[in-house]
Structure formats: C-alpha cells, structure tokens
C-alpha cells in the first residue's frame, strides 16, 4: 500500500510525499499503514510497537494533518502535545516532525522542551505560541507552572513510549498534565510493553481505541558490514584518522571505554583537523544536545562516545561505527553496531583488535556466531609481541597457539597501560 492511499487530504498529500521521499521512506511500515487511516478518521489508538517500527511517522503525519484542518487557537495555546520519556527522544521526535512538515503549505511551529537545560530560552520560544510541543513531563509541568503555555485547547495528545514514562517515575506528572487537558481530544498511545499499570492508564485515557500490534519490521533488517582491524593500542587514534580520511567516512560514531578516553581521542582528532566531539555522561545536557545536533547536521564528523551516553541514540543513516575499545559483552557489541545501518541502510562496523584483546573479541564472535576476517592496514601493522594466534598475515612467523608465560603477561600488561595512557 502506498502512502498516497492512507487517506491524506489532496491538499496536503504532495507536501507529505515530497518530505517522505526526501527521507527515503518509499512505502509505509506496518504500523503506519494500520494506524494512519484510523487516526485520520479521528480514532484513538493504542499501539504496541517498538522503536524501529516507524511509529514516529505513524503519529507525526496524522498529527500534522489534523492540525492543518483545525483552526489556530491563539498565543500560548498548544494544539498537539507529544509526551516522551527522555530528552534524546524529545529531540529526535521533534526533528522527525519538522522534517515531515517541511513542505506543508503553512508553517508549523514545533517546540521541543526537556529538562536539564535552562528554562528561559524555552519560555521565550513559546511566547509566540507553538502548534506542536514535544516534551518530557517534568519540564512541561515547570513550563505550565510558569504560565508559559496553555493546554486548554489541545486537539491531540500522543504518549510515546508510555511504559518508559512510567518506569522513569513520571506517573504523577502525567496525571497532572492529563487533568489539564480538554475532555474532547484525540489520544494516541504507544508503548513497547503492556504491564497492568500501562493497561490502566490506557483504559483511563482512551475512548474506544483501535488496538494495533506490530512486531519489528522484517524488511527493516539492516545490512551491516562488520570488519576487524588488527592494530596496536597506541596507534588506534592515528589509524582512526587514516580511515576517516581514506575511506570517505562522512560520519562516524566511535566507541571508547571511558569518559577520559572520549575526551582524549576527540581532542587528538581535532588537532588533526577532523571535526570531532566527545559524548559522555559528564557533559552538560546543553553540550550533549549541541553535539548531537551538530552531528546530525554533519558539522561534526566524528563523535567519540561511551556506551551509556550512546544508548538510545537514533541517528538515521549513520554510515559507520568504530569500536576503538571493544565492548565488554557481546550484547553491547550488538547494541553498538546497531547504531549503523538503521532501517534498511547499509552500515559499516569496524572493531580495532590488538594482541591483548584478540581473545576477548573471539569470545564476542563465538557468542554471536560470527566469524569476522582480521585485516591489517598498511602502515599500521601491529608489532606488539603476544602474537595473534590465528593466521600470521605478516609472514614473520607468529607464535601460533603459544601460551603466554608469566613474564609475557607482565610485559603485555606494562605495554597495555603505557599505550592506554598515551591513546
Ligand atoms: P521509529 O520506530 O519511528 O523510531 O523509526 C525507526 C526508523 O525507521 C527511523 O530511522 C525512521 O527514520 C525509519 N522509518 C520510519 N518510517 C519509515 C518508512 N516508511 N520507510 C523507511 N524507513 C522508515
């Protein structure tokens, strides 16, 4: 079924089709095909859908559509509200809505509001009103308390990732917000799981909802090319620089083990004229948002991140990830490489493997039933002793299968700590 037969009005359809084509969405995903016609008819929806199903566009398109047909209600009156659990999701959803609204014949103002940053710019932003607000519940309450917006003429409410909203303890804020909304409104409710608390919330909020259940999209299974490059730890930054420059990697998410490493590696890359930024939990929220935004806009080419900070990032069309430090577990490996090749795009995942980490990487391969050929890059061939026990591509006679002696291990530990402090 094409996007054109979901029920969009002929005055808006061309603008949507153009925006969808630009995003590379050729046909609706299952949840889009099911939810959009029902929402356009004014029904409430309860969608059981995971991230990756295409649920954002499933609610964003009809939200934009309904607003275009409803009269504007004056300053500070919000017409569409999307509640999300995290600031990262708020930013992503806001951006998705803006990109889908891009060619509409009228301007749609989308305001993204989340905590952890100063409230004043957000209040200024709301002064002229906003058609759609995407917000985390805590900050929304603050804004309401500051009289920065009114929800009394809201037409559509979207709860995105409702289960996470409750998990994160937003139950009370949610109840307060719901009490401020007009009784006559359309509700779209999305959640990955439906424990009793979520069922109750849905039953409370929704009027004769259409229930939609979608498994992950089978055709969205991404193709990820996985590579492993052997390199001594002390030369990884140079190799990374070399790869960025010679392989035409337009944007790369690099994973490191510590905040300190994120800072140092980003700094070294910057000194080599590569636009690189660290991304970790100790940065201010403002800084993190800025980095993410610049990365999406391709102002920043390389983001050097820790696992925790990178979790939940959804940057469409991220061409490559690099495991500068290997992940601790095979599950983390899958999480990391899943950052590339999203929604049917081809992605590239490169892991740096050294003599010291070879055994660990082999364990990851075994757990995930992978077999990734080891490569070497000319000029960056590893020289550290403790040879690779697979083939010996250098032809210099590796110590195949030799077990390290106690002295070998001490030497190796010393080399490792020396190279780690040097990055
Ligand atoms: P979501 O579940 O909304 O987070 O979307 C998951 C991913 O699928 C995002 O990267 C979207 O950009 C992408 N996506 C959403 N709808 C479509 C579509 N109809 N065709 C291709 N990709 C899509």
d(C-alpha 340, C-alpha 388), whole Å: 28
Mutate to test the pocket of ligand 1, among 56, 58, 98 (most ligand atoms within 8 A of CB): 56
The Å distance, Cα 181 to ligand 1 centre, comes to 30
Please tell me the distance between residue 354's alpha carbon and the centre of ligand 1 in angstroms. 36
Instruction: State the residue for tokens 């029920």.
Output: 7
Q: Does ligand 1 have an atom closer than 6 angstroms to the CB of 92?
A: no
Secondary structure (3-state) at 240: helix
Ordered by start, the domain boundaries in the chain are: 3-214, 218-420
What span, in angstroms and rounded, lies between the C-alpha atoms of 22 and 270? 32
CATH 3.40.50.410 given to domain 3-214: no
User: Hey, whose CA ends up nearest to atom 7 of ligand 1?
Assistant: 52
> pLDDT per residue over 354-390, tens digit each?
999 999 999 999 988 889 999 999 999 999 866 444 4
Least confident of 131-135, 206-210, 258-262, 411-415: 411-415
Nearest residue CA, atom 1 of ligand 1?
A: 54
Mean pLDDT estimate for the chain: 86
Whether 29 is in the pocket of ligand 1, judged by its Cβ within 6 Å, is yes
Q: Which of 346, 301, 305, 347 is nearest to 324 (CA)?
A: 305
pTM, full prediction: 0.58
- Centre a 10 Å sphere on the Cβ of residue 147 and count the other Cβ atoms it contains: 10
Looking at per-residue confidence, does 146 or 389 come out higher? 146
The answer to whether the 3-214 and 218-420 domains have the same CATH topology is yes
DSSP string, 77-120: B-SEEEE-SSHHHHHHHHHHHHHHHTT-SS---EEEE-SSS-SH
pLDDT score for 127: 86
Quote the ligand 1 centre to 57 CA distance (angstroms): 7
Q: pLDDT tens-digit profile of 234-292? A: 999 999 999 998 988 889 999 999 999 999 999 999 999 999 999 988 888 788 888 88
243 CB within 6 A, ligand 1: no
3-state secondary structure of 129: coil
Please report the sign of the dihedral spanned by the C-alpha atoms of residue 68, residue 73, residue 75, residue 78.
negative
- The CA–CA distances, whole Å, from 175 to 46, 171, 186, 204 equal 18, 6, 17, 11
DSSP string computed for 325-377? SPPSSHHHHHHHHTTSSGGG-EEEEEEEE-TTTHHHHHHHHHHTT----EE--
Report the CATH number of the 218-420 domain: 3.40.50.300
pLDDT in tens, 117-134: 999 999 999 988 899 999
């Amino acid at each position: 079924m094409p996007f054109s037969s979901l029920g969009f009005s002929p005055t808006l359809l061309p603008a949507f089709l153009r925006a969808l084509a630009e995003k590379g969405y050729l046909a609706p995903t299952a949840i889009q095909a099911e939810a959009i016609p029902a929402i356009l008819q004014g029904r409430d929806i309860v969608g059981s859908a995971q991230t990756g199903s295409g649920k954002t566009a499933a609610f964003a398109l009809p939200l934009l559509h309904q607003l275009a047909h409803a009269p504007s209600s004056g300053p500070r009156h919000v017409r569409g509200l999307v509640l999300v659990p995290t600031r990262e999701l708020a930013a992503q959803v806001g951006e998705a809505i803006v990109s889908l609204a891009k060619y509409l014949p009228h301007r749609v103002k989308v305001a993204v509001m989340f905590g952890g940053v100063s409230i004043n710019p957000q209040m200024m932003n709301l002064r002229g009103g906003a058609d759609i607000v995407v917000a985390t519940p805590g900050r929304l309450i603050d804004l309401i308390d500051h009289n920065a917006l009114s929800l009394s003429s809201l037409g559509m409410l979207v709860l995105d990732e409702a289960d996470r909203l409750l998990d994160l303890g937003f139950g009370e804020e949610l109840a307060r917000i719901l009490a401020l909304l007009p009784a006559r409104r359309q509700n779209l409710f999305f959640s990955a799981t439906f424990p009793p608390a979520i069922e109750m919330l849905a039953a409370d909020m929704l009027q004769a909802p259409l229930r939609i259940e979608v498994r992950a999209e089978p055709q969205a299974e991404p193709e990820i090319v996985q590579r492993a490059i052997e390199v001594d730890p002390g030369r990884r930054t140079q190799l990374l620089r070399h790869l960025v420059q010679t392989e035409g990697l337009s944007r790369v998410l690099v994973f490191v083990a510590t905040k300190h490493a994120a800072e140092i590696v980003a700094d070294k890359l910057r000194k080599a004229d590569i636009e690189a930024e660290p991304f970790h939990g100790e940065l201010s929220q403002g800084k993190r948002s800025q980095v993410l935004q610049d990365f999406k806009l391709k102002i920043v080419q390389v983001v050097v991140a820790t696992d925790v900070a990178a979790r939940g990032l959804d940057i469409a069309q991220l061409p490559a990830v690099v495991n500068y430090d290997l992940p601790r577990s095979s599950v983390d490996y899958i999480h990391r490489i899943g950052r590339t090749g999203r929604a049917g795009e081809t992605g590239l995942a490169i892991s740096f493997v050294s003599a010291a980490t070879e055994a660990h990487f082999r364990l990851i391969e075994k757990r995930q039933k992978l077999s990734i050929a080891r490569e070497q890059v000319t000029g960056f061939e590893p020289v550290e002793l403790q040879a690779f026990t697979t083939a010996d591509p250098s032809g210099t006679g590796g110590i195949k299968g030799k077990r390290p002696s106690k002295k070998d291990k001490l030497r190796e530990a010393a080399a490792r700590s020396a190279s780690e402090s040097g990055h």
